[in-house]
Amino acid sequence: MKWCHIAVAGHALLGVAQAAGSIELLRLVRSENSYTLQPFSCFALEKQCLALSLDWSTGKAGRAGDQPLKIISSDSSGQLHLLQAYQAGPGMQAVGTWQAHHFEAWAAAFDYWQTEVVYSGGDDGLLKGWDTRTPGTPVFTSRRHSMGVCSVQSSPHCENVLATGSYDEHVLLWDTRSVKQPLADVPMQGGVWRLKWHPFHHHLLLAACMHGGFTIFDCQKAIEENQEVLPVTLSYTLPNSLVYGVDWSWLYFRRLPQTHPSFCLGSSPGSDPGGKTADPVCSLKDVAQSPAPCFERLADADGEGGTKHQSGGKLKTPLQPFAEDKDGGRLRASGVQICERGHSLEAADSDVSLVATCSFYDHVLHLWKWENS
């Protein structure tokens, strides 16, 4: 699932790649004091296939308003599907479909700086680049990964920078102008299923590493100084789980004075670009209520959630869920304030980030507060 970074027909849109073989768009709709996701549009890819990934063409800040809104998706038969979404209302149309990999095409992603270029990774171990104007033949094919390539993301901040991850337990950082040799190659302790660039801090890369937990890298030296290193800012392993999903919060934070009282914030992400939302400093259980010992083990390890930290990073893992405000069900926050989207980052606390992770076996969605000190 991925949110579109621009409003479509006045709504925030969530794109979903479904196992039924379709791409569905859901719109966020406000009703009284809550928000719901309602069906907006659906497009069937191919018969007898699973949709495995999707990406929007809107990942780069400052996108030109006259550019068409596109979606790239991949499926279990190894195909890529380029779709165009209607910005004035519901509906999608196929722009092109082509065979990209011999087995499952695990990941497809836009080059956010040149949206006619897309990248794909497959279970055949290949990373490929494509020009969607002539999609029959790849622009390049890399065999550097030794197993299936399951995560690909273009940097929205630094042109020509691409990150990839694989079942071979390596994260590679590329300069797309020359893909013979990666900028950096970092071995992990698990298959790299997801990669996410920080929305504001240009050099931070978040990785979901399955049984290796999740890791935050600092890519500055690799990108700016051409050093073949990705220092690990933080690495965290969740016991008895496989981390498959990770993402950063797109909210700005600003610290409040220590004497400032708690207050309530009631908006939902994606509802209003200038709105505010709660400070989610907690771990969340799913509806099935995962057993509490999972959280107890995290806290018992070292008092800070069992974090293995390097370079001064600190991860806080409070064990209590949100307190619910009985006056309208809003969430109570203290200590930090959400800055409006239009504010300069100078007004925000550059050391505070929120990280979301979801994991297999324990079926838990975690929300972490990370202080990069």
Position 329 scores a pLDDT of 37
Query: Above 80 in pLDDT, residue 248?
Result: yes
More confident residue, 324 or 181: 181
* CB contact set of 302 (below 8 Å; sequence gap of 6+): none
Position 60 scores a pLDDT of 84
Average pLDDT over residues 255-278: 37
pLDDT tier, 66 (very low <50, low <70, confident <90, very high otherwise): confident
pLDDT tier, 255 (very low <50, low <70, confident <90, very high otherwise): low
Please give the Cα distance from 115 to 68 (Å, whole number): 10
Position 317 scores a pLDDT of 47
Cβ 84 vs Cβ 68: under 8 Å: yes
More confident residue, 47 or 167: 167
Query: Per mean pLDDT, which range of 143-157, 251-265, 294-308 is the poorest?
Result: 294-308
Cα–Cα distances (Å) from 180 to 165, 190, 298, in that order, read 16, 24, 41
Query: Above 60 in pLDDT, residue 79?
Result: yes
Q: Provide the token pair at 192.
A: 């790299």
Position 301 scores a pLDDT of 32
More confident residue, 130 or 289: 130
* CB contact set of 151 (below 8 Å; sequence gap of 6+): 106, 107, 121, 163, 164, 165, 166, 192, 193, 194, 195, 207, 208
The overall average pLDDT reported for the chain is 79
Please give the Cα distance from 342 to 349 (Å, whole number): 15
Q: Determine if the pTM surpasses 0.85.
A: no
The tokens 């027909």 sit on which residue? 9
Query: Above 60 in pLDDT, residue 316?
Result: no
Average pLDDT over residues 84-113: 94
Q: Provide the token pair at 197.
A: 């660039």
